Amino acid sequence: MTAFGDAFRGRRVLLTGHTGFKGSWLALWLHQLGAHVHGYSLAPATRPSLFALADVESTLASHVLADIRDADTLTKAMATARPDIVFHLAAQPLVRASYQDPTLTYATNVMGTVNVLEAARRCGSVAAIVVVTTDKCYENREWAWGYRETDALGGHDPYSASKACTELVAASYARAFFGSGPLLATARAGNVIGGGDWSEDRLIPDADRAVRAGAPLIIRSPRATRPWQHVLDCLNGYLMLAARLLAGDTACARAWNFGPDAHAVQTVEQVLQRLQQHWPKLHWECPPATRQAPHEAGFLHLDASLARQGLGWQTMWPIHIAMQETARWYADLREERSDARTLLASQIARFTQDAKAGLA
């Protein structure tokens, strides 16, 4: 891709969370870009899993199944991989799961990040680090405008609060320990969609399961509004940022939002209506609200002006294309028209061509 060229060719990359949804996409993309990818993660959390279906393991230089809470094993893996750059994606990523086990959520997302940064600090090869957090790291006041990187951090639920803590940990390490390198940045993205996600309590995976089962999809908050973007747009931002860090651009060692344009900020019901255009068998129901339902944000939007101006990043696939590509991915796999690995590779190729055309 013209935005980062050969920045990753021959580079040694440590990718935590490589068995997850975004991690699997990123591992394969980095492999195609000529990187030597070393993965560190728990075993895939879902069945099916994109990691297994797409045989991502075959693209890896090394594959360690371990917990980021295990500091000793992580430190040894870092020392063995000797990466030029670290992408830290491993996390407990679900809001509702964080209510069920807040201790695990904080231990993984906060202390797990401390372990990653401490291992990188002890490894002399690391030149750049990208720590992935979330749009939910902001103190959400249900504003109608997008949050900027300078807005206050916070979080009502344990997941959101843990990611705000992750941002503070990263900022502390950057100031206290990484003054002369490595360059460290954090990346905050919105609700990511795309083929191969089968996590619980996520809209598109739940919709795919409902279609497969021939049952209605049960939704909790049809009017909840989120910034929806395709996984490749999100990862494109991570890669553009990482390339600048590897090039020694100190101005990029900071927090960045990677959120879609305003028209992609839509309600759950609007997204389902778009999806139904491609999956006619999809239907949904909204049961009466219960007092026991945990709090979830009603409105959330990111301002990605900094990434557009400072990195040249922009959304390549608007919401209608993102939904079309996501729906096609699941349908092609469901109806056995293609395998997962081919679907990933073909969508990365289409996205790359669209990005080159957009940057020309």
Catalytic residues: 159
* CA gap 106, 91 in Å, rounded: 10
In degrees rounded to 5, what are phi and psi of residue 46? -125, 160
Q: In the block, which residue shows the tokens 């590509």? A: 325
Question: Distance (Å, rounded) from C-alpha 309 to C-alpha 200?
Answer: 35
Kindly report the backbone phi and psi dihedral angles of residue 129, in degrees, each rounded to the nearest multiple of 5, phi listed first. Answer: -140, 130
CA 89 – CA 109 distance, rounded (Å) = 10
